[in-house]
Structure formats: C-alpha cells, structure tokens
C-alpha cells in the first residue's frame, strides 16, 4: 500500500511548501513593500514630545539682571485619553467651575485643536497649584503638566527697549516651520530683535507609550531625539541704574531720554515716558493689560525715543554750522548782524529771541541766534557753485542724511522711525516746480518746518559731533552669550562717516557747545567738575484741534555730550510741551550725565525739582505766538 501511493508525498509536500511560500509573499508585501503599517506603528506607539529650552536671560552692561525666567506650568489635555474622573475635585484644584470646565474641554476638542493632540487646558498654573496637581495627576488620565517659562523683570524698567514675549500668531505659525500654536515668541523690542539667539532651539524626544498611553521611556535610547539648545543670554548695553534714574526723572512728563556711548554706539539709557512695568505684559495677563495700556490716552506703549518725530529745533543749527563750514561759505570768524529777526521777504520776519547784534559762529551757536543761521542757510543755498536750486538742495539733503537724519539708522530695536527730511518732490508738490527757493524753505535753517527727527537720531547727531565726524550704529546688545563678536553684532563695530570729516570744523562747534554750558543757554545746568558740551533746543509744535491749528507749548529739548575731552556719554532729552529747552530738558540731561559719570548727584535741589515736576497735568496749550 505504501509503495502504491508513495507518489502522493509529492502532492503533500507541494501543498505544504506552497502555503509557506504564500505566507512569505504576504509577509514580503506587508513588511517590505507596504509602508502603511510602519507609519501606523509610529503613530500608535510614539509621542513626539517637544522640549522647550529656557529662553536666554538679559543682563545690563554691568551684569545686573534685567530679564529672567520664572517657572510655570501649563495644564495640557489630550481629550481622547481622558477617562472618567472626579470632575469636582479636579475643578477645585485648579480653581474653575463646572461650566468653565466644559467650555475648556470643548475648546480642546474643536478645531483647530483635536481630541487626539495635546492642547492647553489651563495656562500658567502657579507653582503651588501645579505641585498639588502633580501629585494627583494619576487620577486624571489624559492630563499632563508642561513646563513653561514666563519672563520676569526684577526692576520695572526699560519695558520699551526689552520688549515682551507672547504667544505666536497664526500668521507666523502658517509661514514658519519652527513655531507651532501656543509657542512663545518675542513680539517687540530686544525680545523680537534677538528672538533667535534668545529662544534657543527646541528639541524633540520620542517617547514610547503602551496601549494605555503610559509612557514607557525613550525610543532606542533616544538616538532619534534632538536635544534642546538653551537660549543664549544677552548682555544689554543699558546701564540699569542710569535707566531707572532716567525713568524716575521723566515721571509725570511726556518725552524721552536717549543716552549713547559715542565711542561704541552702545545705548546706555533709553527712556520713553510715560512707560509701563514690563511685568504687566507677561503670559496670560498680557492681552488684558495690553488692551488697558492701549486705551491709555498718554499712550504708554508708544516708544517715543524711537518712533516720535520732532522738529529738531536749535540742535539742528549745529549740523548747519558744520555744513556751512564744509561748503566753505562760512568760517569760525564769519559774522552776521542780528536785529532781532531775519527778513526773508515774507510778510513778517523770522524772529529771534533777542537783538543779538554782531555775532560770529561761536556766538551764533552759543546764543542760538535764528538770524545767524538763516544767513548760514542762505549762504549755503545761494552758493554760486550750484546752478539750480534743486542741485543745492540735494547737496544739503545728502549732508543731513549722512548725519543720520531722515534715514533709518538700522539700530537693532525694531520699528525704528525714519523721521522726515523733505524731498524736492515734496516741495514741488507744495509750492509748484521751480516756485520755491531759499526763502521759501528758510525755516529748515533753524530745524523747523518740514524737518522731523527722532530722539534716537538726535542723540546720534551728538555722537557724530562728539566723535568729530563718525558714528557707530546705536545698538542695545554688547554680547550674545559670552561672545561680543557674534556675527550679528559686527555691523555695530563699523564706523559710519558723516559728510563733514574735518575735525577743525567740529572743534569750532564743540567749543561753541562748551560755551553754551559755560556762559550760554545751559549755564544753569553746569555740572561741578565736569566740562561738557551741549545745545538747547525749543521745538515749536502745532496741532489741529477742532479744525483749528493750535500752537501748543514748545517741546523742551536738549542735547549734550560729556566730558568735553574723550566723551563717554552723548544724550538727547525731549520733554514735550514743557517750554524752553533750558528749563526742563537741560537739567534732566545734566543729572543723567552726572549720574553716569560720577555715580552720584551733587545738586539735590535740582534733582528734587525734576523728580517732583508734573508737566503732564499742567496746561499744554501755550500762548499764541504771532508771526
């Protein structure tokens, strides 16, 4: 019988072997060809967790902390993983009621959130609450705590400059591959400008979870993980003590102080008043406080030092002196006669404050004579070397630009205003082509008219004079991490030259500015033991109120650098609607200079007067000036 059917073994072997071959073919398909299972396996067993690095701290130039991080936790939820739990207990711990709970839960499920993905259930749980929660979290499946860092400011200063951090907008998440919903990003100031070094680099780690979503450790000992890189600390150029002092001096005043070290371009103080406590714009309190600050009629969010444009007033006379000398139409000894005004052929002459009589350039500057500078302007404009008004105007304009007027300085603080420097086109539009000439635009001579300059630009002009011909781009960061030569900082180490380079011309102006302090308009603001140079300014300002052009009280302006030899600080102070430059801006500037250079103040009575002065709440509408 066995021999009879022995061939049947081949049938059986064939059946057995072919089944195994079919299995191998099937295995080849699902394991080698089809990727679907590999993807599903990853989605099931892997959680891609983001590691947020600590944001860099910011220190002032002397190592004092300006911004640091404070720990907080976001309570996250993955709705799908939520199992039945004691809602009442849960709500009590985080301090919400049942309605809120349901709302938050719904929000976590509905688009753009998803019940499969983690989303924020409750933001910024305090450290105490999170400790309680952490202990009981095992009862609340699907919830977990994600550490977050909130910015904290030990002193409530420099809010405008430091900027703030907030949740990233949809516009950014749509275009950036780095940011995801709920991430934080620097929104203004240094936080925005230095976002990349400050934020560091997010890391991800793959966490393997079991079927019950319990974390089972890292995948393959983390060989596919990327490690988060901590943000770098910044050393800010600010002097925190000077900044704080400046903000105090400017309390109850509208205006700004910009102080720069002319030898480096580092910003030492950057005050915009009224300001705000940067601690208001943190985390979940940000939107509410931001709205309140926005609604404030004094516009505390507005960075006046960077974004307000004022007519430079008399400080522009310094630039005119340099341009006149460089064009060789005036010299130190050029004299003009002042009879109390400059008659440019209009109905009324451009007035001077006094009958100055015969003045040379030094006296013209130190006594701030309008007549003198109208004559300087005319000399420049009527230079025979230029055939057409447009040509000479362009020459003049280029001088102004080279002094950083009417152009972006490209500082590292975002949203810098260019200010206004009139163009040929603009005058053509106002007066008609070829219908304007020197006397039409004579008010430019004294820094009025169509000129607008920001306090930062004003301070930069002072730096150029202090440096006798060049400036470094004003900036706020000394070093990134420990590296002062970070590539992004190299542009701040380049000298930018004004079109006037002859130091002799500067010496004339500097002597005159020194005279301003010694015997001129700023004589009341002398600092014992410090020989410095300054120029007062009084900028007219008009505003349309109820359809009528109203002459408002002048802006008090003052620029200075100190000491005269080897300058360490250049400063521009603007106090809006405060009147004479000598009365408010000058003492404030002198106090700042003294504080910075000597670390003390020798004139307490002036200091007290400045600290106590409340200029905001006095009448800002000045008497009508008729001309």
Interface with other proteins by CB under 8 A: which range of 27-35, 320-328, 405-413, 530-538? 27-35
Query: Are the C-beta atoms of 418 and 408 separated by less than 8 Å?
Result: yes
Interface with other proteins by CB under 8 A: which range of 21-29, 87-95, 111-119, 578-586? 21-29
Contact positions with other proteins (CB under 8 A) in 41-80: 41-42, 44-46
Residue 40 touching other proteins (CB under 8 A): yes
Residue 213 or 526: which CB sits closer to other proteins?
213
Residue 549 touching other proteins (CB under 8 A): no
Please give the Cα distance from 271 to 275 (Å, whole number): 8
Residue 5 or 138: which CB sits closer to other proteins?
5
Q: Which of 6, 295, 566, 624 binds other proteins (CB under 8 A)?
A: 6
Residue 1 touching other proteins (CB under 8 A): yes
CB of 78 to other proteins, least distance (A): 17
Number of residues that bind other proteins (CB under 8 A): 43
Residue 223 or 549: which CB sits closer to other proteins?
223
Residue 34 touching other proteins (CB under 8 A): yes
**Closest to 593 in 3D by CA, of 602, 605, 583:** 602
Assign residue 119 a region (left: φ > 0; alpha: ψ between -120 and 50; beta: otherwise): beta
CB of 8 to other proteins, least distance (A): 5
Q: What is the largest CA-CA distance in the chain?
A: 145
Question: What distances in angstroms separate CA 46 from CA 52, 80, 214, 216, 306, one per listed residue?
Answer: 19, 16, 11, 10, 49
CB of 84 to other proteins, least distance (A): 18
Residue 44 or 602: which CB sits closer to other proteins?
44
Residue 14 touching other proteins (CB under 8 A): no
Sign of the torsion formed by the C-alpha atoms of 170, 173, 174 and 176 = positive
Residue 9 or 388: which CB sits closer to other proteins?
9
Residue 30 or 110: which CB sits closer to other proteins?
30
Which contacts of 153-157 are long-range, i.e. CB under 8 A and separated by 24 or more positions?
Answer: 153/66, 153/67, 153/277, 153/278, 153/279, 154/65, 154/66, 154/68, 155/66, 155/240, 155/244, 156/277, 156/278, 156/279, 157/66, 157/240, 157/243, 157/244, 157/247, 157/275, 157/278
Q: Which of 14, 30, 229, 430 binds other proteins (CB under 8 A)?
A: 30
Q: Which of 14, 37, 483, 493 binds other proteins (CB under 8 A)?
A: 37
Query: Are the C-beta atoms of 622 and 551 separated by less than 8 Å?
Result: yes
Structure tokens that stand for 6 in this block? 């022995």
Residue 600 touching other proteins (CB under 8 A): no
Residue 21 or 227: which CB sits closer to other proteins?
21
Contact positions with other proteins (CB under 8 A) in 185-244: 208-212, 216-217, 219-220
Please give the Cα distance from 402 to 319 (Å, whole number): 11
Structure tokens that stand for 61 in this block? 């130039």
Interface with other proteins by CB under 8 A: which range of 39-47, 48-56, 163-171, 511-519? 39-47
Helix (H) or strand (E) holding 461: helix 455-467
Query: Are the C-beta atoms of 157 and 240 separated by less than 8 Å?
Result: yes
Please give the Cα distance from 64 to 137 (Å, whole number): 39
Which positions touch other proteins (CB under 8 A)?
1-2, 4-6, 8-9, 11-13, 15-17, 19-20, 22-24, 26-28, 30-32, 34, 36-38, 40-42, 44-46, 208-212, 216-217, 219-220
């Amino acid at each position: 019988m066995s021999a009879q059917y022995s061939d049947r073994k081949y049938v059986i072997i064939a059946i057995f072997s072919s089944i195994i071959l079919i299995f191998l073919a099937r295995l080849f398909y699902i394991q080698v060809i089809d990727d679907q299972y590999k993807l599903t396996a990853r989605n099931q067993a892997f959680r891609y967790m983001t590691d947020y690095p600590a944001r860099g701290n910011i220190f002032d130039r002397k190592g004092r902390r300006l911004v640091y991080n404070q720990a907080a936790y976001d309570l996250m939820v993955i709705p799908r993983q939520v199992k039945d739990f004691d809602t009442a207990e849960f709500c009590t711990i985080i301090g919400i009621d049942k309605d809120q709970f349901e709302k938050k839960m719904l929000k976590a499920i509905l688009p753009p959130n998803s019940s499969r993905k983690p989303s924020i259930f409750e933001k910024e749980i305090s450290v105490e609450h999170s400790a309680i929660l952490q202990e009981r979290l095992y009862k609340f499946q699907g919830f977990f705590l994600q550490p977050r860092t909130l910015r904290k400011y030990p002193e409530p200063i420099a809010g405008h400059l430091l900027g703030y951090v907030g949740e990233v907008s949809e516009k950014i998440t749509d275009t950036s591959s780095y940011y995801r919903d709920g991430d934080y990003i620097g929104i203004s100031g240094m936080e925005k400008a230095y976002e990349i070094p400050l934020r560091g680099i997010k890391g991800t780690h793959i966490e393997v979870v079991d079927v019950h979503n319990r974390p089972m450790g890292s995948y393959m000992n983390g060989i596919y993980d990327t490690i988060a890189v901590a943000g770098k600390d910044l050393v800010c150029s600010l002097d925190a003590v000077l900044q704080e002092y400046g903000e105090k001096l400017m309390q109850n005043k509208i205006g700004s102080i910009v102080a720069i070290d002319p030898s480096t371009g580092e910003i030492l103080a950057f005050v915009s008043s009224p300001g705000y406590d940067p601690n208001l714009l943190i985390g979940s309190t940000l939107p509410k406080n931001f709205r309140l600050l926005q609604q404030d009629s004094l516009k505390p969010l507005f960075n006046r030092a960077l974004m307000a444009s004022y007519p430079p007033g008399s400080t522009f006379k310094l630039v005119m002196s340099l341009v006149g000398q460089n064009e060789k139409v005036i010299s130190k000894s050029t004299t003009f006669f002042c009879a109390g005004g400059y008659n440019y052929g209009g109905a009324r002459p451009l007035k001077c404050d006094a009958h100055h009589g015969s003045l040379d350039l030094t006296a013209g500057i130190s006594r701030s004579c309008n007549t003198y500078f109208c004559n300087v302007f005319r000399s420049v404009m009527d230079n025979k070397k230029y055939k057409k008004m447009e040509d000479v105007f362009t020459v003049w304009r280029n001088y102004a630009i080279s002094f950083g007027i009417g152009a972006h300085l490209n500082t590292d603080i975002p949203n810098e205003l260019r200010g206004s420097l009139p163009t040929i086109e603009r005058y053509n539009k106002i007066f008609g082509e070829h219908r304007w000439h020197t006397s039409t635009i004579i008010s430019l001579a004294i820094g009025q008219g169509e000129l607008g300059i920001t306090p930062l630009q004003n301070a930069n002009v002072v730096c150029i004079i202090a440096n006798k011909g060049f400036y470094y781009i004003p900036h706020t960061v000394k070093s990134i991490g420990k590296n002062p030569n970070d590539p992004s900082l190299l542009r701040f180490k380049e000298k930018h030259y004004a079109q006037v380079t002859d130091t002799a011309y500067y010496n004339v102006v500097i002597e005159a500015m020194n005279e301003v302090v010694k015997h001129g308009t700023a004589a009341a603001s002398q600092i014992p033991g410090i020989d410095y140079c300054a120029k007062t300014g009084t900028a007219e300002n008009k505003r349309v109120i109820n359809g009528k052009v109203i002459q408002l009280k002048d802006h008090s302006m003052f620029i200075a650098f100190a000491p005269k030899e080897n300058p360490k600080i250049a400063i521009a102070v603007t106090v809006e609607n405060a009147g004479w430059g000598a009365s408010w801006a000058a003492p404030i500037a002198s106090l700042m200079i003294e504080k910075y250079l000597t670390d003390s103040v020798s004139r307490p009575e002036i200091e007290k007067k400045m600290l106590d002065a409340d200029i905001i709440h006095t009448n800002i509408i000045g008497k009508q000036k008729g001309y």
